[in-house]
C-alpha cells in the first residue's frame, strides 16, 4: 500500500477509510441476499419502490430504503425516479450472481460467508495470537476436528457444500482446462463434494470417466439436494484419509491440501501416489501465493481464512512442488489462471 500513499492520501486517508468500511459493504450485500432483495427484483418485471420491497419482504420501510440506496451507491442496484418516487431495479451483475435463480448464482457463497465465515473472522485477533482456528470461541465447537464443526448439522453441511459449488461456477472450467488432461481416462475427484467440479471435468473431457469420492453423508446430500447433470459423473463414499481410495489415472484435490498442515498433506499425497496408476498424475487446485508471499491479495486473505477456519494455509508453487516431489510425484507444472484458483499438475 505504501507506494500508493500520495500526498493527498497523507492529507486525508481516503484509501484507509475505504478499507475500514469494507466489512460494512460486505454486510450490505450479505443482508440483501439473506432478505431476498435480489430474488424479488429479478422476478419483478418492473422497478420497485422501497415501500413495495419492504412490504413484500417484511421489513421496515426506513431500513429498506437506506439499504437500497446504499446498494445503488456501490452500483449493484440502479434507481430511477417516477412521479417523485424512487424505483429500484437490479443491475445485470446482481441478476447473474446475487439472485438464487441464476445459473451462476453465488447466493450460497454469500450466505455461508455471512453466517459462518463472518462470525469466525470476528475472532481473527485470537486466531493470530493462538495460531489456531476459532470454532470453539465462535460456535462452542472443538477446534481440533474442524470438519466435524463444518458438518455439525445437515443445514451447516449444505451451506458448506453450496459454497463449494459456487467456487466451481466461477473457476471450474479454467482449472480443469489449465492443462490438457484428455490422456487421463479415469479421473477421481477426492473430496469432490457436490460434483460441481467433476461435472466441469466431464464436460471438458467427455471420453474420460469421472468419479467423486467423498464422505458418505456428503455423497448422500449431494445426490439428494444438488442438481446432478447428465454428465456421467458417479459418486463413491469413503474417507480419503482412512479408507482405500479407488484406482485412477488422475486424482483431483481441489481446495483440499490447503486445509491441512504439511504432515497430513504428505500422508495424503503419498497415499495418492501409491494408488495412482503408472503414468498417472494428480491435479491440485489452490490459490497460489507468489514465491515472495507478497500477493496476490486474494490468496493472502484466503490464507488468513485458513488460520481462522481450518488447520491449513495457502502456499507458494515451490511449497507445493516440494510436497509433491517428497511424495514421489515428478514433472510438476504450475498454471496461474489469473482468477481465484490456480492449477498444479504432477505425474507419477
Residues designated catalytic: 258
Which residues, other chains included, contact 246 with Cβ-Cβ below 8 Å and sequence gap of 6+? 188, 211, 213, 236, 275
| Cβ-Cβ contacts under 8 Å for 202 (sequence gap 6 or more) | 208, 210, 229, 231, 232, 233
Q: Provide the 10 A C-beta neighbour count for residue 261.
A: 11
Contact assessment for residue 286 and residue 344, using Cβ atoms and an 8 Å cutoff: yes
Contact between 90 and 77 under an 8 Å Cβ cutoff? The reply is: yes
C-alpha cell at 112: 455461508
The torsion angles phi and psi of 239, rounded to 5 degrees, stand at -110, 115
From the list 215, 332, 190, 182, the residue with the least C-alpha distance to 272 is: 190
Q: How far apart are CA 266 and CA 289, in angstroms?
A: 19
Residue 254 contacts residue 201 (beta carbons within 8 Å): no
Assigned C-alpha cell, 295: 500477493
Amino acid at each position: 500500500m505504501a507506494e500508493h500513499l500520495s500526498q493527498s492520501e497523507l492529507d486525508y486517508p481516503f484509501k484507509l477509510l475505504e478499507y475500514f468500511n469494507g466489512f460494512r459493504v460486505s454486510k450490505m450485500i450479505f443482508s440483501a441476499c439473506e432478505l431476498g432483495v435480489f430474488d424479488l427484483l429479478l422476478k419483478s418485471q418492473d422497478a420497485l419502490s422501497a415501500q413495495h420491497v419492504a412490504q413484500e419482504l417484511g421489513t421496515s420501510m426506513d431500513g429498506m430504503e437506506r439499504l437500497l440506496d446504499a446498494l445503488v451507491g456501490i452500483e449493484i442496484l440502479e434507481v430511477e425516479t417516477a412521479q417523485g418516487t424512487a424505483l429500484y431495479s437490479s443491475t445485470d451483475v446482481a441478476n447473474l450472481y446475487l439472485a438464487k435463480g441464476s445459473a451462476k448464482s453465488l447466493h450460497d457463497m454469500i450466505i455461508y460467508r455471512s453466517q459462518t465465515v463472518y462470525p469466525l473472522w470476528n475472532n481473527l485477533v485470537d486466531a493470530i495470537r493462538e495460531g489456531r482456528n476459532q470454532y470453539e470461541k465462535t460456535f462452542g465447537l472443538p477446534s481440533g476436528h474442524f470438519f466435524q464443526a463444518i458438518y455439525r448439522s445437515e443445514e451447516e453441511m449444505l451451506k458448506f457444500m453450496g459454497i463449494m459449488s459456487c467456487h466451481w461456477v466461477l473457476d471450474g472450467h479454467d482449472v480443469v482446462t489449465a492443462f490438457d488432461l484428455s490422456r487421463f481416462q479415469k479421473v477421481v475427484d477426492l473430496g469432490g463434494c457436490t460434483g460441481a467440479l467433476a461435472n466441469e471435468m466431464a464436460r471438458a473431457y467427455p471420453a474420460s470417466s469421472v468419479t467423486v469420492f467423498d464422505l458418505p453423508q456428503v455423497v448422500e446430500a449431494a445426490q439428494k439436494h444438488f442438481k446432478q447433470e447428465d454428465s456421467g459423473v458417479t459418486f463413491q463414499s469413503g474417507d480419503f484419509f482412512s479408507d482405500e481410495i479407488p484406482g485412477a489415472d488422475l486424482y483431483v484435490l481441489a481446495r483440499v491440501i490447503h486445509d491441512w498442515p504439511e504432515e497430513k498433506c504428505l500422508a495424503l499425497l503419498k497415499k495418492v501416489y501409491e494408488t495412482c496408476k503408472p503414468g498417472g498424475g494428480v491435479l491440485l487446485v489452490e490459490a497460489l501465493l507468489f514465491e515472495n508471499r507478497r500477493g496476490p491479495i486474494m490468496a493472502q486473505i484466503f490464507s488468513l481464512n485458513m488460520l481462522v477456519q481450518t488447520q491449513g494455509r495457502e502456499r507458494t508453487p515451490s511449497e507445493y512442488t516440494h510436497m509433491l516431489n517428497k511424495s514421489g510425484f515428478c514433472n510438476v507444472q504450475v498454471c496461474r489462471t489469473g482468477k481465484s484458483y490456480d492449477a498444479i499438475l504432477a505425474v507419477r
